[in-house]
Amino acid sequence: MKSFIKKYAPVCLIIFVVLTSFNYTHLSNSESLKLSDTINLNNIRELSLDTVKFLLFEDVANIENVRRDTIYINAGDSIYKIPFRISAKVVLDNTTRNRYFKLTGMSLLDNPELETYLIDLFSNPRSKLKEEIPPKYWQRHEIYLRYFEPYDNNSPYLPGNTLNTDYDEDEVDDQIQVLENYSNFPLPETIDLEVDLRKIPRTLKILDIEFDFDKLDKRFQRLILNSGDKVINKNRKSNLR
């Protein structure tokens, strides 16, 4: 056994160095990664491992994957088994993406997808707001009274309606029903979006109303970020002229 260790110590050292070199992988705004790992055993044998592929569909910060297998080495009359373990880690690097930007004069006529998301957002805004507003306080809150009450067909301030304040103190907020359907909210033809990703909660500001960016639909988030990247890159090109 000692003679085997002495004889193949350089081989084992090479395996260790090669395997540890695959521990960390850095991505920049990428949606997929492929790692094809090859181990060269000091001209004895070359072994290609399976491809490791990461598909990133959600807003994740990192993904880890561990590969385990065994290398078989022919050495004279004997075959030796060497188990190995490769830890691959993907870290999304968003430092190149601007953390604060404004999109001004966005035409909803030219952006029907954006218009669809905004109609849905303003039809049921409370749960997406930056400020946490329990259902029982919604119809008395400044945001509701200022922006949404005029377009609420179920407004308690309409003639014949009353504001319900008779809530049981032990009643859970999720069990309190508030009818939200402000589909007739008058969105302008052009709109400004202000995105601030520098602090928590990250925010999207529209018509002076602040929404929690992380509560928005993931596809809506990507649409906003992609629009921001296009504007930022366009401005950079203009500055280079």
Helix (H, G, I), strand (E, B) or coil at 8: helix
Q: How many CB atoms lie within 10 A of CB 86?
A: 20
Residues 6+ apart with CB under 8 A from 67: 37, 49, 50, 52, 85, 86, 88
pLDDT above 60 for 153: yes
Q: 112-123 vs 218-240: helix axis angle to the nearest 10?
A: 130
* DSSP string covering 199-227: SSS-EEEETTEEEEGGGS-HHHHHHHHHH
CA–chain centroid gap for 145, Å, is 33
Q: Measured between alpha carbons, how far is 189 from 115 in angstroms, rounded to an integer?
A: 9
- pLDDT score recorded for residue 74: 74
pTM: 0.58
Of the candidates 217, 155, 214, the one whose C-alpha atom is nearest the C-alpha of residue 184 is 155
Q: Which of 111-120, 206-215, 227-236 has the lowest mean pLDDT?
A: 227-236
**Average of per-residue pLDDT across 196-202:** 92
